[in-house]
Structure 1
Amino acid sequence: MLQHFSFKPLFENKQLPGWSLSFFYKQTRYTGEYEADGTIKWLGEIPADEETVKKMIHELMLFHVYD
């Protein structure tokens, strides 16, 4: 489960898609950029079970951004 998930737009013009995100997973902090097509560009360490984490991120982004 992701903890302390947060995101913010990459651009001041909020019409341009792209978000920076950060969260804790298994007591490790991860950061990345979530692009409009759902691609995640990791900034630093990549989670060992990346596909599971990506699914959780997509779910949260759909709920918070595209709702």
Structure 2
Amino acid sequence: MLMHFQFKPLFENKNIPGWNFSFYYKKQRFTGIYHPTGKIEFTTNTPEQKDIDALTSQIHELMLFHVYE
């Protein structure tokens, strides 16, 4: 499970979609960009391949809850 999930707008104009996010997983910090299309781009450490699907799903759920609702 990811912990300490945070996000902020990618652009100063908050009407332009796109967000930076960060979280901790297995005691390691990850950062990335959540694009308006739902594409997730990791900008620092990339999670192990076996964890990517689960983390991607969790990130989508958190972004939908916090940004789109």
TM superposition score normalised by structure 2: 0.93
Percent identity between matched residues is 55
**Root-mean-square deviation (Å):** 0.6
Letter in 2 for 1:23: F
Q: Which amino acid aligns with 2:64?
A: L
1:14: which partner in 2?
14
Instruction: Mark the runs of 5 or more structure 1 residues left unpaired by the alignment.
Output: none
Aligned partner of 1:50 in structure 2 is 52
5+ residue gaps, structure 2, are none
- Aligned pair count reads 67
1:54 partner letter: T
1:14-58 Cα shifts (integer Å, max 9, x gaps)? 110000000001111000000001101111211111111000000
| CA displacement at 1:64 relative to structure 2 | 0.2
- In structure 1, what is the equivalent of residue 39 of structure 2? 39
- Alignment-derived partner of residue 26 in structure 2: 26
State the shift of 1:13 in Å. 0.7
In 2, Cα distance between equivalents of 1:13 and 1:34 = 16
Q: When the two structures are superposed, what TM-score results if normalisation uses the length of structure 1? A: 0.96
